[in-house]
Structures are given as C-alpha cells and as structure tokens.
Amino acid sequence: MSALLERDPRRLFAAVLSLLEAKGMLSEADLAERIALTDAATPGQGARMVARAWVDPTYRALMLADGTRAAEALGIPMRGAPPLGVLENRPGLHHLVVCTLCSCYPRAVLGYPPFWFKSAAYRARAVRDPRGLIAEWGTVLPAGTEIVVVDSTADYRWMVLPLRPAGSEGLDEAALTALVREGDMIGVTVPAFGR
C-alpha cells in the first residue's frame, strides 16, 4: 500500500487529510477555506497596512511590534500563517526582503510571490549585490544609506514599511494605498508621489 501512495501523490494527500480529519485537526472545509483566503490575498492588503501606518501612529506602532496583529486589525486573516514581521525603512536605512532557500513570502498580506522573487538570480543578487539589484529596478538610494537584507523563512515572514513619499502629506488613506506597490513592500522599489 505505501508504495502505491508514494507513486500517487493525490492518494497520499487524501490519506493524510483523512487522518487529520479523524483526529479532529483539520477538515476538508478548513483546507478549502485556507486555499480561498490565500487565493484572494493581493498586494493591496499590504498596501492598506502601509497607508494606515503612514497616517496612524498607534497602528504604525502595532505594525512594527506585531505584524500579524496589525494585519488582523484590518480584517486580513492570518490564521495558520507564519508570524509576520515588519521592517521599517528610515532615512539612512533601507530593507530588502529575500528568501534565500526557496520562496517564503508573506502571502496572507501580499498574495502569491512574484515570479522574480522565487528566481535563483534574485535570491543570489539580493545577498551578494543588493544595491546593484535594486538599481536595476530604478531604485537609487541617497549616498550613505545602509541596506539590510532580511531573509524570510518558513517560520517567519517579512514585509517592508517603506518611507512615506515626499509631497504626499495631503493625501488621504485611500490615495496613499494607491501609491504603494508590491516591490515597495519587498524593498526593491520605493513609493513615489507624482510619478
């Protein structure tokens, strides 16, 4: 029987799911719900978090202390997801997120990872030459800015809280959300106002 399961991953999956259901640990409905939540996640959810942090100091403090709770405070479901850490960019400090081993990504808040995030070229360049890598995205940081590369793992996911762009002071939260791109929350790009 085990040789048959090894050759047919669908049967193996069904057997494991059956065992988990029998132990009351997971149901097929739970699994379907989690898949639906992951499929519905988009970078717009993370952009809402960023925009809220830009206008609400209390939320910003929560986001930096506990990204998971901050996401849940905006109605973003995090049940079953690894903890979310948030890295704050500041003048003189810029963060770049990578997963050096595979493609660990904060899917609950950013959706599925872009193809380039999973590529061996991105993963290697992010560690070896982060300044050159982000320059290829058109991101040129002020001289003297330190770049810190942070590795997402299976146990902990990361996203970036980018600097609020100059000139955006009069914008409301919805308009600020529209400024934030997926790359801004990974660190390959930075938000800009009036592009």
With H, G, I as helix, E, B as strand and everything else as coil, classify residue 146: strand
Residue 181 · residue 165 · CB < 8 Å: no
Residue 163 · residue 90 · CB < 8 Å: yes
**In the structure encoding, which two tokens stand for residue 80, read together?**
């079953």
**188 contact partners, CB below 8 Å, separation of at least 6:** 96, 133, 134, 137, 139
Catalytic site residues? 99, 102-104
**For residue 136, how many other CB atoms are within 10 A of its CB?**
10
